[in-house]
Amino acid sequence: MKLIGSLVVIASLVFGTLSAATAYLPKLSLADERLLGLTLNAPAGGPPPLAGPGDTLTPELLATLRADGVERVRVKEFAFDRWSHAWWFALAVLGLTAGGVTIKQAARMQYAPSAAGERRESPASAARDALARIREIARSLADELPSIRDEHDRCRTIVHRLDEVQRQHSLTIVEAKPALIAALGMGGFAEFMDHFSAGERNLNRAWSAAADNHAPEAERSLAAAHEPLDKAAERLGA
């Protein structure tokens, strides 16, 4: 289903792009009253061009262009009744919608309960667990660091504890992207990632500052990570 949905989306994009290109290219086979007064936005006819940008379509100019074999002209004004491929574009929009829904349903089915009633191991659940562990590490560091007097030891503790975040838990969340999109929708996933990325950046800054033995900066960055990580957890339901 996912492959079919992807093919429908690609085909719809192609047809939509091609049909959109004719939105400002009315056919000269239309009746004069639907074309008169339109302003050209590109040379027409020729070579040399029989009319140029800014010229207005008049009965005489229309007759001249038709006699020259011109089938379409590019104009500045848009109207649905002059758009020869409007229905193609509408079908392309429907195709994009149908393809997107098919892809989303396929992703949901991938992590749906099996026929025996057992749920497959869910990357979305693994992502929730990973985020909970990241928040736990960040909070425990904030609680423990004030009791460590030596600045070097504080930095070493930060680096050691955040290594687990960088090497394991953050990767788990990144790898769960398809499952999270299926669970949250594209908009919900984007909102979650905004918060999570902000928290992760602060943790990475904390790790980097601690690796350089700069405890104050590491602790400031660590403190700044709490709020966005909490917001990410709220969005994820972790």
User: 107 pLDDT band (50/70/90 cuts)?
Assistant: low
Domain boundary among 60, 79, 110: 110
Q: What's the pLDDT at 179? A: 87
Average pLDDT over residues 33-45: 94
**pTM (predicted TM-score):** 0.54
Average pLDDT over residues 129-158: 94
115 occurs within a structural domain: no
Residue 106 tokens, joined:
């396929």
Give the count of domains, the chain: 2
Domain boundary among 110, 132, 166: 110
Q: What's the pLDDT at 119? A: 47
Residue 181 tokens, joined:
């999109």
Co-location of 14 and 73 in the same domain: yes
Say how far apart CA 155 and CA 161 lie, in whole Å. Answer: 10
Q: Which of 40-44, 52-56, 118-122, 176-180 is the least confident region?
A: 118-122
Q: What's the pLDDT at 118? A: 44
202 occurs within a structural domain: yes
173 occurs within a structural domain: yes
Contact indicator for 38, 75 with CB cutoff of 8 Å: yes
Torsion of CA 138, 144, 146, 147, to 10 degrees: -170
Hey, how many other C-beta atoms are within 10 angstroms of the C-beta on 221?
Answer: 21
Co-location of 14 and 103 in the same domain: yes
pLDDT at 97 over 70: yes
Contact indicator for 225, 170 with CB cutoff of 8 Å: no
Co-location of 92 and 131 in the same domain: no
By C-alpha distance, which of 26, 40, 32 is closest to 79?
26
Residues with Cβ within 8 Å of 37's Cβ and at least 6 positions away in sequence, in order, are 56, 57
> Model confidence over 199-234: pLDDT tens digits?
999 999 999 999 999 999 999 999 999 999 999 999
Residues with Cβ within 8 Å of 199's Cβ and at least 6 positions away in sequence, in order, are 134, 138, 225, 226, 227, 228, 229, 232
Average pLDDT over residues 79-83: 92
User: 1 pLDDT band (50/70/90 cuts)?
Assistant: confident
Q: Coil, strand, or helix at residue 119?
A: strand
Q: What's the pLDDT at 15? A: 86
Co-location of 164 and 223 in the same domain: yes
pLDDT at 116 over 50: no
118 occurs within a structural domain: no
By C-alpha distance, which of 236, 178, 180, 169 is closest to 203?
169
C-alpha atoms less than 13 angstroms from C-alpha of 115 in its C-beta half-sphere: 0
Say how far apart CA 176 and CA 55 lie, in whole Å. Answer: 57
Contact indicator for 67, 112 with CB cutoff of 8 Å: no
The whole domain housing 39 covers: 2-110
